[in-house]
């Protein structure tokens, strides 16, 4: 099949969860004999170019108006991506997110039947968006639900939301993670100036990821917290300024070196996960795949991933209590919890199983088109 993945910032991943998803899924599909195109924006206002990443994997760079406001750049990128896909003989289009959906009425119904939408999390609930942007996101969500026949969610809790809001039931296909093989070398820590035991977060610095609440807890407990993620946004910079003077809180910035990330995860005391609106979060899966002990914010998304044996918090006080309890846990109990997380990834969140589900869905679309 000839498959196009739209809606990401391209591969190799240097941004976030959708990009990691596109990177891994495209590589697996190519290994199975499919031709895959991944689209990426270039903010130079120019046309488009195609880069061959391997024999059957291509990166299509789509020129987006560099002088447009950010939200309009997204709309421009989505429209130009759909126009490209409409001129190519693409069998299946996988859209990451639903911001493209307002453009769908411009395209023929037969074209829309090729589209699968990964709806991702509840984007309109993110605090970074203005009220007009949130209204647009709700509108694009509505358009995706009503104009696309094949909807995918990465978490059952998201399916419940769409069922209650729109009366539809998207197919559940989670994200995946690669279970850790060999134990990563500990000397990687020295490269990052880490010489004492530490807790770890890998996260975008946004309000709904509870970074400030978590950091305040660690300041109060005087435990070391390492935070990996971009802080070059307005909110991220304000957080950095609030906590940069505390020696036990360190911001390492973004990091997309998977080997280094695996080492930082594996050798941490525990992984702290504060996400609240994102469905199945890739950083949580990857922590579990690295045999981390996880303490997560208590919400349906995280409970679905970690299960009943997970450790949860809903406030600074609860997080303080969990960290104190963790400090008193016998070593065998810690090891058992880490192994439980690792086994859960192998059984429920393997990338190969994720690719199986998407490939099956894509094949059914392709077969229906052939019959049509």
DSSP states of 235-264: HHHHHHHHHTT-TTEEEEE----HHHHHHH
**Would you say the CATH fold of 188-348 matches that of 2-176+351-371?**
yes
Q: How many CA atoms are closer than 13 Å to the CA of 301, on its beta-carbon side? A: 25
Fold category of 188-348 in CATH? Rossmann fold (3.40.50)
CA distance 117 to 113: 11
What rounded mean pLDDT belongs to the chain? Answer: 92
Dump pLDDT digits (tens) for 73-93.
888 999 999 999 988 889 999
Q: pLDDT, tens digit, for every residue of 34-46?
A: 999 999 998 776 6
Angstrom distance (rounded) from CA 168 to CA 166: 6
Q: According to the model, what pLDDT value does residue 45 have?
A: 64
Where exactly are the structural domains of the chain? 2-176+351-371, 188-348
- pLDDT, residue 122, reads 75
Of 188, 207, 209, 186, the C-alpha closest to 255 is 188
- Name the pLDDT band for 371 (thresholds 50, 70, 90): low
pLDDT band at 288; cut points 50, 70, 90 = very high
pLDDT digits (tens, 9 = 90+) for 61-70: 999 887 788 7
Q: Evaluate if residue 330 carries a pLDDT over 90.
A: yes
On whether the CB atoms of residues 266 and 290 are closer than 8 A, the answer is yes
**Residue 263: pLDDT band by 50, 70, 90 thresholds?**
very high
pLDDT of res. 284: 96
> Which stretches within the chain are classed as H helix?
17-31, 70-87, 109-112, 131-147, 156-166, 188-191, 211-221, 234-243, 258-266, 282-289, 300-306, 316-328, 331-348, 351-371
pLDDT at residue 117, rounded to an integer: 95
- pLDDT value of position 173: 96
Is residue 197 classed as helix, strand or coil in its secondary structure? coil
And the tokens for 116? 């699968």
What's the pLDDT at 370?
Answer: 60
Torsion region of 253: left, alpha or beta (phi above 0 gives left; psi -120 to 50 gives alpha):
left
Q: Which CATH architecture has domain 2-176+351-371?
A: 3-Layer(aba) Sandwich (3.40)
| % residues pLDDT > 90 (the chain) | 73
Q: Which residue has the higher pLDDT, 70 or 19?
A: 19
Average pLDDT over residues 226-244: 91
Residue 94's φ and ψ, nearest 5 degrees, are -105, 115
Q: Which two tokens stand for residue 322?
A: 């969990």
Phi (first) and psi of residue 153, to 5 degrees: -120, 155
121-167 residue pLDDT tens: 777 777 677 788 888 889 999 999 988 889 999 999 999 999 999 99
Give the residue with greater pLDDT, 110 vs 297.
Answer: 297
Other CB atoms within a 10 A radius of the CB of residue 65 amount to 15
What per-residue confidence (pLDDT) applies to 177?
96
User: Residue 6: pLDDT above 90?
Assistant: yes
Among 218-232, 235-249, 324-338, 358-372, the minimum mean pLDDT is found in 358-372
Mean per-residue pLDDT for 181-191? 95
Q: Please compute the mean of the pLDDT values over residues 247-270 and round it to a whole number.
A: 96
pLDDT mean over 11-20 = 86
Q: In the beta sheet, which residues pair with residue 177? A: 350
What pLDDT score was predicted for residue 125?
Answer: 72
């Amino acid at each position: 099949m000839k498959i196009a993945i739209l809606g990401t910032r391209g591969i190799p991943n240097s941004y976030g969860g959708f990009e990691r998803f596109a990177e891994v899924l495209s590589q697996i599909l190519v290994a199975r004999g499919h031709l895959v195109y991944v689209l990426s924006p270039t903010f130079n206002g120019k046309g488009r170019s195609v880069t061959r990443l391997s024999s059957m994997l291509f990166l299509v760079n789509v020129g987006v108006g560099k002088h447009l406001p950010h939200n309009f750049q997204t709309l421009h990128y989505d429209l130009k991506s759909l126009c490209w896909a409409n001129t190519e003989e693409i069998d299946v289009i996988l859209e990451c997110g639903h911001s493209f959906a307002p453009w769908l009425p411009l395209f023929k119904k037969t074209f829309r039947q090729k589209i699968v939408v990964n709806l991702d999390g509840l984007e309109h609930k993110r605090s970074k968006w203005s009220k007009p942007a949130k209204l647009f996101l709700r509108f694009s969500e509505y358009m995706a639900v009503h104009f696309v026949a094949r909807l995918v969610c990465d978490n059952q809790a998201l399916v419940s939301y769409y069922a209650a809001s729109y009366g539809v039931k998207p197919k559940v296909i989670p994200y995946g993670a690669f279970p850790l093989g060999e134990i990563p070398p500990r000397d990687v820590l020295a490269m990052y100036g880490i010489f004492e035991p530490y807790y770890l977060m890998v996260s975008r610095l946004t309000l709904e990821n509870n970074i400030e609440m978590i950091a305040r807890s660690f300041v109060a407990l005087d435990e070391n917290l390492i935070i990996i993620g971009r802080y070059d946004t307005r909110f991220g910079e304000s957080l950095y300024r609030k906590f940069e003077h505390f020696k036990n809180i360190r911001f390492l910035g973004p990091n997309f070196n998977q080997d280094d990330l695996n080492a930082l995860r594996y050798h941490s005391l525990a992984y702290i996960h504060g996400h609240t609106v994102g469905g199945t979060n890739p950083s949580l899966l990857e922590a579990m795949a690295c045999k981390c002990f996880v303490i997560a914010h208590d919400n349906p998304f995280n409970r679905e991933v970690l299960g009943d044996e997970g450790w949860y918090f809903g406030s600074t006080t609860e997080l303080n209590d969990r960290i104190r309890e963790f400090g008193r846990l016998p070593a065998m109990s810690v090891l058992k919890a880490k192994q439980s997380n690792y086994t859960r990834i192998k059984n429920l969140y393997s990338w190969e199983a994720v690719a199986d589900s998407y490939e099956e869905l894509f094949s059914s679309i392709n077969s229906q088109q052939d019959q049509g």
